[in-house]
Structure 1
Amino acid sequence: MKNYRVEVPKVARDQLEIKDGEPLAMWVEGNQLVIRPLRLADSLPQIKLRWYFGPALVLTLLFYADMINQGYHLLPLVGGDSVASASLYLATLSGLLAFASTFISQKRHHRGRAQEFSWRAMISIMVACGTITAFSLVAGAWLVGSLFHGAVFDIYTAGALIFLVIAMVTYIMINLAMTISPGVITNLMTFMIIGGVFFSMLTNSNKDWWRHNFSFLGTANSSNSWQFNITLIFSAMLMLTLIDYLFVNLSKKYPGWRVQVTRWLLNLMAACLGGVGLFPNDPRFHLLHDRIAMWMVYTMLILVVVVRWTMPMMTKTFLTLSYVIGGVLAVSYIAFKFVRYLSLTAFEMLAFGIAFSWILLLFQLIEAVVQRDVRLFTVELVAEENDEVSH
């Protein structure tokens, strides 16, 4: 049997800080051969207990002090002054501070994935993460409140529950800051858009909103319009952050104006997405809202057409899929505008779903190109004549 020796380039060893003679782990993952240091702890975020239990304990003690000062002995599970509201405010605050401090520490000490992002990305990522955290806690409180209607706790039990929520959210935000990546941002953006829109649908007091239009969720006639609008605005911020990261790295491999055309068209799409949330479909903004929404559709169609020339790394499969998606979008517009087959709600939801799906596919393809160009190193498999495995 012939064995092989893997020769790893020095630049890869230096980046991983591998010492001479240090054992490496290697395994097959799908169609990939993965090699990393045998130190298992180095592959996982090192989050110390005090980093998330400390803030949780301090904020819980402040909660106890405030409750005792106001003379509270019992606290409802949900409502104005409740376990849910206290958890929402304190956990979101703790999570944001934990994310910011971890991100800054990673950047200053040049370690972790955060160093790959610019300083200007921190604010938009942090705000988006805080918004997702708040939405998740609100949704969780709504679900738990429905299941345990009328539940009431003494302040010490309530404090214990709040402590657990704060510690959990703080841990998640620290972990997120340590493992932030383009894929994570894409997932955050996806979760925020889909989760925010569906939550706005579920909690809307007007169950016939769909008879008006999709944008009705963001109007003053909708009971939770702020949730829908904030979802779009902060999703646009995440999209701009992702575009900035991907195209800064992509431009190193493909310099020139063509790639920048795609970048600015994507920025325009993100601005339109945020504009739809910033200018809801109320009477005073109706015309502007409709035009911004249509600009987003037009920009999408332009991108589908020009991406063949502006992005030289595009695959034939992606281009074919792009033309199919563009064709479906154009047909749906004709079916709505001229044939009147589709209602306004159906067209808006279909166009939004198609455009968002295509954008995600484009981001995934660009991310794969960036990762391939930045992170892959050339290695050699050298055949050995003996039967002993060489390390």
Structure 2
Amino acid sequence: MLNEKDVLDLPEDLKKQLGVKSGAQVEVHVGTDELKISRTKPIEARKRRWGMIILTAIMSAVFVGYFMVRKMYQVSLVGSESVATMVLMLTTLSGLLSFTTVFIQLKRQSGSAVEAVSWRNLPTVELACTLISFMLLAGLFWIAGNLFKGASFDLVTSTALFALITSVEVLAINSIVPQLSSRLLTNIFIAVIVSGVILAMISNQNLYWWKHNLSFLGTNEAVHSWEFNLALIFAGLILVALVDYLFASLKRLFPKSRQLLVLRILLTLLAIDLALVGVFPNNVHMHPLHTRVAGYLIFLVLTLIFAIKWLLPDISKDFLHTSWMIAGALLVGEILFQVVGYLSLTAFEIMAFLLAFSWLVMLFERLNDYLEPIQNHKYVIK
């Protein structure tokens, strides 16, 4: 039995205009200044499924062809020529192609959530999703490589494994693109940076990294330092995409706001600086450069916190008070570390990271609130 809230009662003349009958399914798009009703197209879902099957088959054929040309009939799980390497190359490429195809299809459909995304945002959002996919797959194979050391498969089994991973990747992309939003990108940004840091901490637990500093996780002395640095680089690039996507939408609500333009520039500089912290790890020859870009990161966050009252339209008192409390905690932590000597370098870095990161997430949630309510609902015609 259908829920009443999922049933839409429309006048007969509007039904004729939409070309729908009782029992037909429609999608309602609610925007900040618009409401669109469009028919759902199950045929598009079938096309995407066939596209997934065809793309998986093509990539699997490339996978088999490569190893047959190399005369390798036993394929390692991880390594230079392995299932992991081919997945990182071909499966990531499959996700990129699928993302582009589905985005273009949905962009041409009236009433889809993607319609609100400008064509200019496509490269940055596409890059962010590709980087996330690559990082997720790399992390999964790193875990698998540690769990199943020395594992290898015959060509048939390895091809089946590759095809399964590729089909799941394409299916996930097909499901994510229709739900694309700034809030989704915000959640992905959080997941990438948190998971990257935690994986780096776990992999270096036997080296007692906490006796050095947080930046030790990205140095040559750390185990798998690329994970920590890559997480920072990817998080910075995702943040660039998120800022570009978010402020392109906010520009329609506040077309002549100079404050939002300044806020956008500061957040973009913050994203670039975050990526540079990963590009220049705290090795001996890069220590001065690493320290400088890390210092800029704290400076930019404090600038944003103290200036947010003037940069963000209609800022709430609760958010403002929370921002000042976080800024105060950062300053107190600086005094306890630099002047009093109570905090160790590691404790200070972790505290500063958590406070700054928490405030940044709160800021993006506040910016996302300006774009609400923008959502899609499916109804059945009464």
Query: Which range, TM-score by smaller chain?
Result: 0.7 to 0.9
Say which SS state the counterpart of residue 261 (structure 2) adopts: helix
In the alignment, the residues of structure 2 paired with residue 344 and residue 274 of structure 1 have an alpha-carbon distance, to the nearest angstrom, of: 21
After superposition, give the CA deviation of every residue in 1:156-213 in whole Å (9 maximum; x if it has no partner): 1111111111111112123223321101111111111112222223334972322222
Aligned residue for 1:75, secondary structure, equals strand
Q: Residue 45 and residue 219 in structure 1: after superposition, are their counterparts in 2 closer, same or farther (change >3 A)?
A: farther
Distance in 1 (alpha carbons) for counterparts of 2:253 and 2:69: 61
Q: What's the secondary structure of 1:342's corresponding residue?
A: coil
Residue 233 of structure 2 corresponds to which residue in structure 1? Answer: 233
| TM-score when normalising by structure 1 | 0.79
1:180 matched to 2:183? The reply is no
Paired AA for residue 242 in structure 1: L
User: Which whole-Å CA distance do the structure 1 matches of 2:108 and 2:41 have between them?
Assistant: 22
Q: Secondary structure at the match of 1:153?
A: strand
Correspondence list, 1:139-288, <5 A: 139-204=139-204, 207-254=207-254, 255-288=256-289
* Deviates further, 305-314 or 162-171: 305-314
Change (3 A) 1:25 1:341: farther
Q: Name 2:301's counterpart in structure 1.
A: 300
Partner of 2:355: 354
In the other structure, the counterpart of 1:336 is 337
Does 1:118 find its partner at 2:118?
Answer: yes
Gaps of 5+ in 1: 1-5, 27-34, 377-390
Q: Compared with structure 1, are the counterparts of its residues 118 and 38 closer, same or farther at alpha carbon in structure 2 (3 Å cutoff)?
A: closer
Higher RCO (C-alpha 8 Å, min separation 6): 2
For 1:179, the aligned partner's letter is: Q
Q: What's the secondary structure of 1:48's corresponding residue? A: helix
Gaps of 5+ in 2: 1-7, 27-34, 377-381
| Separation in 2, partners of 1:45, 1:332 | 53
Structure 1 residues 69, 309: CA separation in 2 closer, same or farther (over 3 Å shift)?
Answer: closer
Q: Is the 8 A contact 1:45 1:178 kept in 2?
A: no
- Aligned AA (1:300): V
Return the alpha-carbon distance in structure 2 between the equivalents of residues 313 and 24 of structure 1. 42
1:226 Cα deviation after fit: 2.9
CA distance in 2, matches of 1:331, 1:368: 31
SS at match of 2:79: coil
> Secondary structure at 1:338's aligned position in 2?
helix
1:218, distance to aligned residue in structure 2 (A) = 2.2
- How far the C-alpha of 1:274 sits from its partner, in A, is 1.9
1:99-118 matches, within 5 Å, as 99-107=99-107, 112-118=112-118
The question of whether the paired residues in 2 share the 8 Å contact of 1:279 and 1:288 is answered with yes
| Partner SS, residue 371 of structure 2 | helix
Deviation (angstroms), 1:364:
0.9
Deviation at 1:358, TM superposition (A): 0.9
Q: TM-score, normalised by structure 2?
A: 0.81
Residue 290, structure 1, aligned to residue 287, structure 2: no
> How far off its partner does 1:20 sit?
7.4
| 8 Å CA contact 1:196, 1:227 repeated in 2 | yes
Q: Distance in 1 between matches of 2:364 and 2:223?
A: 34
Give the SS at the match of 2:207.
Answer: coil
1:206/1:222 contact within 8 Å kept: no
